[in-house]
Amino acid sequence: MGDGVNSPRERRCSEGGAFYNADMNTPLNSWYARWMALSLVGLIPATLAQAQDEEIDFEKQIWPFLERSCVKCHKAPFEENGKTIKPKAGLRMDGAWAFKAGSENGSVMEAGNAKESEIWWRTDLPTDDDDFMPPTDKADPLSPEEKELFKKWIDQGADFGEWVGNLEGKPKEVSNTGEKLPVSEIQETYTKLSEGLAVPKEDMWKEVTAAGGRVMPLATESPLLSVDFRLVREEADDAKVATIAKIGEHIAQLDLSKTSVTDAGLAPIEGLKRVVRLDLNQTGITDAGLSHLKGLENLNYLNLYGTGVTDAGLKQLESIKSLKNVYLWEAKVTDKGVKSLQKALPEAKIVWK
């Protein structure tokens, strides 16, 4: 048998406890370098290489071929001839949360790193390998283009976009997209944050809605709100984001991902002490913007994927002791900066490459 230490399976198994990957010095570290390497050996056609910066849409570009080639064996249990057919290896691929939940052997997908993701490398083996997926003659294999797209999607961070899929069987403590919410802790936080706060009237957020934002109570009769701009994305500029000021004290979840918000545009967030979750991924935010986060004393989840944040910005996060989940893929941070943040926030899960 081969050198077990270097096989992806071995590495996958040793991953478990590490919250960030300290091995920063892989030669093909940047997107561009990885892409160039692939292009040079002719694995991808030039037209695909040109599209390297475009973000892949899971539902449109990935789901159709996974549904065709994988899902019949990797989906929720179903009855057939009086027997319950369970998903193979306990792995379901029919819901966003399920991909992240992995199989009976643990995680199969490392967002941001396709090569370390069993769900991808199994499709990239020689077709006569026992581990090749889908099993030979049982379903159509992925075409080279599909494999490349699948790889790129995982490398980009495995964002499911609006796609949720099948929620049947989803544990309570994970969100629809598979983020772990320590349910008791988070719910306690929400209960505490709701105390003494009146349920807001809908016309309090008509300006947010007019600006393209979506506002939803966290639960029926909850005074806490979730706000996102996913319907308008880059059209949401600072002025539009500023409309949230009126409902600021009610906001528990704020998703500004892919908007045009600038560092200065985060000023309205300052001091919003009920914000538990903040998505700033794929925005132009830099270190300067993070200075507005200081008063967020209940912030648990912060997504800075694809932003201009550097190690200096991470320094400003060190004082937010409530932080438990920090996402830094494709931000401008280094090994050193992430280590220092991990030291300041020992309980936090920091994901960055």
> CA 305: distance to chain centroid?
8
Angle at 62 between CA 98 and CA 92, to 5 degrees: 20
Strand positions, DSSP E, 81-219: 83-85, 214-217
227 near ligand HEC, rule: CB under 6 A: no
Between 140 and 188, whose beta carbon lies closer to ligand HEC? 140
Residue 174 CB, shortest distance to ligand HEC, in Å, is: 18
Residue 155 CB, shortest distance to ligand HEC, in Å, is: 16
Nearest CA to 192 out of 296, 277, 301, 273 is that of 273
The total of other beta-carbon atoms located within 10 Å of residue 17's CB is 5
Cis peptide before 346 (omega within 30 of 0): no
Between 123 and 300, whose beta carbon lies closer to ligand HEC? 123
88 near ligand HEC, rule: CB under 6 A: yes
Contact 303, 278 (CB under 8 A): yes
Angle at 210 between CA 204 and CA 213, to 5 degrees: 85
Question: Under rule CB under 6 A, which residues in 130-189 are in contact with ligand HEC?
Answer: 131, 133-135, 138-139, 142
Give Cβ neighbours of residue 102 (< 8 Å, ≥ 6 apart).
91, 108, 109
Of these, 56, 108, 193, 247, which contacts ligand HEC (CB under 6 A)?
108
Please choose, out of 34-42, 115-123, 156-164, 297-305, the segment that lies near ligand HEC by the rule CB under 6 A.
115-123
Please choose, out of 100-108, 250-258, 274-282, 328-336, the segment that lies near ligand HEC by the rule CB under 6 A.
100-108
85 near ligand HEC, rule: CB under 6 A: no
118 near ligand HEC, rule: CB under 6 A: yes
In this structure, which amino acid lies at residue 245?
A
Which strand (E) or helix (H) includes residue 254?
strand 251-255
Residue 284 CB, shortest distance to ligand HEC, in Å, is: 35
Residue 124, CB half-sphere, CA atoms under 13 Å: how many? 17
Between 122 and 233, whose beta carbon lies closer to ligand HEC? 122
Please choose, out of 126-134, 154-162, 193-201, 332-340, the segment that lies near ligand HEC by the rule CB under 6 A.
126-134
260 near ligand HEC, rule: CB under 6 A: no
Rounded distance, CA 214 to CA 88, Å?
Answer: 38
91 near ligand HEC, rule: CB under 6 A: yes
Between 85 and 288, whose beta carbon lies closer to ligand HEC? 85
Rounded distance, CA 164 to CA 326, Å?
Answer: 22
Rounded distance, CA 273 to CA 250, Å?
Answer: 9
Helix (H, G, I), strand (E, B) or coil at 326: strand
Between 110 and 330, whose beta carbon lies closer to ligand HEC? 110
70 near ligand HEC, rule: CB under 6 A: yes
Of these, 26, 29, 30, 105, which contacts ligand HEC (CB under 6 A)?
105
Of these, 24, 31, 116, 122, which contacts ligand HEC (CB under 6 A)?
122
Between 139 and 312, whose beta carbon lies closer to ligand HEC? 139
Rounded distance, CA 110 to CA 129, Å?
Answer: 22
Q: Which residues bind ligand HEC (CB under 6 A)?
A: 69-70, 72-74, 88-89, 91, 103, 105, 108, 118-119, 122-123, 131, 133-135, 138-139, 142
